[in-house]
Amino acid sequence: MTMTEGRSIDGRRARGDASRRHVLDAAADLASLEGLDGLSIGRLASAASVSKSGIATLFGSKEQLQLATIVAATERFTATVIEPARVQPRGIRRLTALLDSVVAYSQDRVFPGGCFFSASAADFHAKAGPVRDALADQLESWLGYLAASAGFAVKQGELPGLDDPEQLAFELQGTFEWMNLMAVIRESDVHYARARRAYRDRLVSLGGDPAIAELVLTPGAALRG
């Protein structure tokens, strides 16, 4: 292979990767608004201004497109919620930062329809198959990360009243789901403020330092503090 041929192949690969990212970004946004189950090659082609044949070449089938969209949405969620919180040390500071960033994730419409995973899970909760399994895996991974963060806080003596980190993660995510649902339906920020107060109060009730727990009340404060 000549150097010219190698550069040509690399260029095509780069264009293909960029096209795939563009389509998946549009797919995740569209699914958050209209549902992952309704995501079709034809509908996405219109939304992303790409030909149907181009999308079919990239993904092959509707199911493969849905699975790839979940992966892309997971990457966006991780970059928006988890990675920023990792600037804080493990324990209550990181847990508070995660709660801060996950409220902002919904409020800032990282996905235009609110939480991609909440919307998609509602579509697939009773439909067995690879797509439902992929969504369940991601939701369980997030819950596990919340529980692990709470567990570090327990080990460090920062939440002395907590004896079941997994139960706390369940409660925190339950608050998030109701917050996201009502905020999107009512197009109101009041539910975000209520969720932040609920998070603060729960951490304090478990013996968390009020000065740290209070940070979740102010958007961005727990990420900086």
pLDDT tens per residue across span 75-86: 999 999 999 999
Q: What is the pLDDT of residue 16?
A: 57
Residues 6 or more apart from 123 whose CB is under 8 A from it? 35, 36, 37, 38
Which has the higher per-residue pLDDT, 210 or 21? 210
Instruction: Give the pLDDT mean for 23-48.
Output: 89
Q: Which helix (H) or strand (E) holds 94?
A: helix 92-107
**Res 8: pLDDT:** 44
Mean pLDDT of 122-128: 83
Between 3 and 201, the more confident residue is 201
pLDDT at 74 over 50: yes
Per-residue pLDDT at 203 exceeds 50:
yes
Per-residue confidence (pLDDT) for residue 60, from 0 to 100: 83
Q: Tokens 């549902």 — which residue?
A: 35
Residue 37, pLDDT above cutoff 60: yes
Whether the CB-CB separation of 122 and 115 falls below 8 Å is answered with: no
Predicted pLDDT of residue 45: 87
Amino acid at 205: S
Q: Using 50, 70 and 90 to split pLDDT, how confident is the model at 42? A: confident
Whether 58 has a pLDDT exceeding 50, the answer reads yes
Q: Residue 13: is its pLDDT beyond 70?
A: no
| pLDDT, tens digit (0-9, with 9 covering 90-100), for 83-108 | 999 999 999 999 999 999 999 999 99
- pLDDT of amino acid 12: 57
User: Is the pTM above the cut of 0.85?
Assistant: yes
The residue written with tokens 């199911």 in the block is: 63
- C-alpha–C-alpha distance, residues 85 and 100, integer Å: 9
Gap between the Cα atoms of 225 and 220, Å rounded = 9
Say what the pLDDT of residue 101 is.
98
What does the pLDDT read at residue 4?
52
Higher pLDDT, 225 or 7: 225
d(CA 178, CA 188): 13
The per-residue pLDDT of the chain, averaged, comes to: 91
Quickly state the pLDDT bin for 141 (edges 50, 70, 90). very high
